[in-house]
Structure 1
Amino acid sequence: MPPIHPTQRVAVLADSQNLYHTAHSLYSRNVDYTALLDSAVQDRELVRAIAYVIRADSPNEEDFFDALRDIGFEAKIKDIKTFGDGSKKADWDVGISLDAVTLATHVDALVLCSGDGDFSRLCSHLRHEGVRVEVFGFGSSTAEELREAADSFVDMSENEDRYLL
């Protein structure tokens, strides 16, 4: 596992839907994105920070998108899709994966903020390409295969006061 050092170039990719739903279901609180970004970067050179969000026409969501930008995240926004049967779908799995693979040639470390086990294969691929992969998530809802595929895992549940508002 490559160690952390101050000259590393790092990218931070935040699966905001996953973080939001987990923080709300476990704690009824919101994620502190300032603390998340600070912890993820750890005094290294930040190349890019992207938060992947869904526009669901809920109150204050534009304020949230603006706040992400103020913190230092680029907000990538996707509209929620409603199907004929009333079901709704919106996820960024493919977009996050494509961005991660594209950024891999420009960074030494990639921090993925998600508990979604679908990203375990992505982590394995990035590590094979020589990129250090760090995962931030809530322990009880982070897939075991994702933890195992990463170089390191930070359990945000172990420091609720830092990572939650």
Structure 2
Amino acid sequence: MNNEVQISQQVAVLVDGNNIERSIHAESERHSTMLNFDTLIPKLLVNRGLNRLIYFREGKNISSKLAERLHDKYHGSVRPCHKSADIPLSIKATQLAQKVDTIIIMSGDSDYIELVNHLKSEGVRVEIAAIESTTSHLLIEEADYFHPITSDDWFTLKLPSNKRAKKPTASSSKKKTTKRTTKKAPTKKS
């Protein structure tokens, strides 16, 4: 007799890109660090089906490589936001509540506490995926489950040599300005 339980859940993953990026940069102390979706998404899903993956990001400068990768590998999309991702992400989560079993919000922002409570009242399982040190403890408590994002879930981009931060050299460091004083030749007293 097979005691293995088959899980049939549809999951939507909604990413607050700015929040996650800031958290990773703070934790790794590097601005060239990115989420590794290839390791993170399977870890989050654990035998559940991915219904949607949407990466919300404030600003117009969004990596086309990220958008292509999310689309090609996960049929995901990147949504630019006029200001913060909080409102567009919350609207999308509310729209998806009747279409999925679980919504994973990738953010540690306490602004999502009310959304978590609303989604749970609609019968949706809500999970949070974020870097624990930068995540609101109230948000963790309200969620049905918390997935800590660790250094295993990100990578550091290799920047081209002309884009790397240059180390200061002796000639480029602040030049010391020395005040020159001219001594007058002693005068003879007669």
TM range (shorter): 0.7 to 0.9
Q: For 2:105, what is the secondary structure of its paired residue?
A: strand
Aligned residues: 147
Moved more, 108-117 or 43-52: 43-52
Corresponding residue of 1:45 = 49
Conserved 8 A contact 1:133-1:151 = yes
Distance 1:15 1:57 in 2: 15
Gaps of 5+ in 2: 156-190
Corresponding residue of 2:40 = 36
Deviations 1:13-55 (A, max 9, x none): 0111111111112102221122222222222122111111234
Distance 1:51 1:57 in 2: 13
**1:74 partnered with 2:68:** no
Gaps of 5+ in 1: 80-89
Report deviation, 1:147: 0.4
Distance 2:17 2:125 in 1: 21
Q: For 1:13, what is the secondary structure of its paired residue?
A: strand
Distance 1:51 1:150 in 2: 20
Corresponding residue of 1:26 = 27
Corresponding residue of 1:164 = 154
Report deviation, 1:112: 0.7
Structure with the largest fraction of helix: 1
Q: Which amino acid aligns with 1:12?
A: V
Distance 2:87 2:6 in 1: 30
Distance 1:41 1:135, change over 3 A: same
Conserved 8 A contact 2:10-2:100 = yes
Identity %: 29
Report deviation, 1:56: 4.2
**1:154 partnered with 2:147:** yes
Distance 2:104 2:121 in 1: 16
Cα RMSD of the aligned pairs, angstroms, is: 1.8
Conserved 8 A contact 2:81-2:88 = no
Q: Provide TM-score, normalisation by structure 2.
A: 0.71
Corresponding residue of 2:123 = 130
Report deviation, 1:71: 2.9
Q: Provide TM-score, normalisation by structure 1.
A: 0.81
Conserved 8 A contact 1:50-1:75 = yes
Report deviation, 1:65: 2.3
